[in-house]
């Protein structure tokens, strides 16, 4: 009884494993989760946030401790002038300093970090979109190989049934031995094609796992990819592909503000306290404190400010040129992909109609074979035509799905 239960459990477990199938969403989730590039970009965003905190900390009062000592001996009248060096000195100070900057300058620096973060977030979306296109493309290829394998299995099963019938009819002298051998060659070719399609599916499936970062050699059947055409030609301002050009424009405007702020007056104050002495008489009384300030303002820098403005202007013109060129490419690409998909829809419909006739012909030939009223050459010709049409249908469906994948890539 125990053996029966164990056998039943093993059978149930095996059936469950072979019945499993993976979907496109499974691979997309694994690929995005395992992508080191996306993790790197997310870490860069966290690093930029730390830079924002660091900037705020840099404008808070800074406290430093310092100490210095000097001894300049004069030997037989030779040595540094005592009026300059005082002969010797020793100090140990605690200094508190603070730089005062305008709120506008601080906001401009934070804006630069914000633009950097927005650019990184957009880069993450672009990386995800690139990864999705790659994974979906490989998934479609693997699904096409699986469909080819299923179709070849269907043909082998069909020819296998007819082979048993033809063998009996040949023994009954309804068909010649040469007819049977000719049919058997066709069956063997179909079996070879089935083996080749299985190998191709394993290869495409392994590549899909590799691209998704999945370390698993178990082969599962994958579900049909449910892809819908999804593209909007309007409102490109929200597209991630045009977002970078918007960010470039904002970045250049903010860079001009930072240049202007760098030419404004700067004020800093300080206060220190501690010991500062030349170690002469009453050196033990040289403990004290001092306060002070510094003001600086650029008056002339040789025209560097205008040169920086010109550099920003050149960057702006370059960005506009790239945007205009990409906009034309974008429109052309979308129109071309839509046209190709429409053409494939028409072609698939025509091939599907032709396939119905081919299937009907095989059914008729199968009935005629049972009565011995069919030439084997006609049956082989019908099977080969069916193979060609079915292969053509599969190839065109896969090609259409690849185009839909390309079209959907530009939809975000």
Domain definitions of the chain by residue range = 20-59+101-263+304-409, 63-99+266-297
Query: Would you identify the CATH topology of the domain 20-59+101-263+304-409?
Result: Outer membrane efflux proteins (OEP) (1.20.1600)
Q: What pLDDT, on the 0 to 100 scale, is given for residue 72? A: 87
When pLDDT is averaged across residues 7-29 and rounded to a whole number, the result is 58
Sign of CA dihedral 348, 27, 131, 238: positive
Predicted pLDDT of residue 18 = 40
Reported as a single tens digit per residue, the pLDDT across 38-49 is 999 999 999 988
Could you tell me the pTM of the whole model? 0.81
Mean pLDDT of the chain, nearest integer: 85
DSSP state of 283: G
Q: Parallel, antiparallel, or unpaired for β 88-100 and 266-277? A: antiparallel
pLDDT of residue 19: 45
Helix (H) or strand (E) holding 263: none
64: alpha, beta or left, given left = phi > 0 and alpha = psi -120 to 50? beta
CATH for 63-99+266-297 is: 2.20.200
Could you tell me the pLDDT band of residue 195, with boundaries at 50, 70 and 90? Answer: very high
Please state, in angstroms and rounded to a whole number, the distance separating the CA atoms of residues 404 and 132. 13
Nearest CA-CA partner of 337 in 242, 233, 234, 237: 233
Confidence of residue 233 (pLDDT cuts 50, 70, 90): low
Q: Using CB atoms within 10 A of its CB, is residue 247 exposed (0-12), middle (13-18) or buried (19+)?
A: middle
143 pLDDT higher than 90: yes
**CA distance to 262, 264, 369, per residue, from 302 (Å):** 15, 16, 98
Confidence of residue 396 (pLDDT cuts 50, 70, 90): very high
Q: Residue 234: is its pLDDT beyond 80?
A: no
**Tens digits of residue pLDDT in 240-255:** 989 999 999 999 999 9
Average pLDDT in the 12-27 region?
60
In the predicted model, is pLDDT for residue 312 greater than 50?
yes
Closest Cα to residue 237, out of 227, 249, 229, 228? 249
Structure tokens at 66: 């310092």
pLDDT of residue 186: 83
């Amino acid at each position: 009884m125990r053996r029966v239960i164990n056998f039943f459990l093993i059978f149930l477990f095996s059936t469950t494993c072979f019945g499993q199938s993976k979907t496109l969403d499974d691979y997309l989730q694994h690929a995005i989760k395992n992508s080191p590039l996306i993790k790197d970009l997310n870490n860069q965003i966290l690093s930029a946030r730390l830079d924002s905190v660091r900037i705020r900390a840099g404008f808070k009062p800074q406290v430093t401790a310092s100490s210095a000592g000097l001894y300049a001996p004069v030997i037989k009248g030779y040595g540094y002038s005592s009026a300059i060096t005082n002969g010797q000195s020793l100090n140990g100070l605690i200094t508190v300093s603070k730089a005062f900057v305008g709120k506008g300058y601080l906001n401009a620096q934070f804006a630069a970090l914000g633009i950097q973060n927005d650019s990184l977030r957009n880069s993450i979306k672009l990386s995800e979109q690139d990864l999705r296109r790659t994974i979906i493309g490989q998934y479609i290829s693997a699904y096409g190989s699986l469909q080819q394998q299923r179709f070849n299995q269907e043909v082998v099963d069909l020819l296998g049934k007819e082979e048993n019938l033809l063998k009996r009819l040949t023994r009954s002298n309804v068909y010649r031995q040469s007819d049977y051998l000719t049919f058997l060659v066709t069956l063997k070719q179909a079996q070879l094609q089935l083996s080749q399609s299985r190998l191709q599916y394993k290869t495409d499936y392994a590549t899909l796992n590799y691209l998704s970062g999945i370390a698993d050699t178990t082969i599962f059947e994958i579900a049909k990819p449910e892809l819908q055409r999804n593209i909007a030609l309007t409102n490109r301002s929200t597209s991630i592909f045009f977002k970078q050009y918007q960010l470039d424009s904002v970045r250049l405007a903010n860079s001009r503000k930072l240049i202007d702020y760098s030419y404004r007056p700067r004020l800093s104050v300080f206060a220190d306290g501690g010991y500062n002495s030349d170690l002469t008489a009453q050196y033990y009384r040289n403990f004290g404190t001092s306060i002070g300030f510094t003001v600086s303002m650029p008056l002339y820098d040789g025209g560097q400010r205008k040169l920086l403005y010109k550099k920003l202007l050149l960057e702006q013109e370059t960005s506009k040129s790239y945007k205009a060129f990409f906009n034309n490419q974008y429109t052309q690409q979308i129109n071309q992909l839509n046209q190709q998909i429409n053409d494939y829809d028409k072609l698939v419909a025509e091939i599907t109609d032709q396939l119905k006739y081919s299937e009907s012909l095989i059914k008729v030939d199968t009935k005629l074979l049972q009565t011995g009223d069919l030439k084997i050459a006609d049956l082989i010709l019908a099977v080969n035509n069916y193979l060609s049409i079915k292969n053509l249908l599969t190839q065109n469906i896969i090609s259409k799905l690849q185009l839909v994948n390309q079209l959907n890539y530009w939809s975000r």
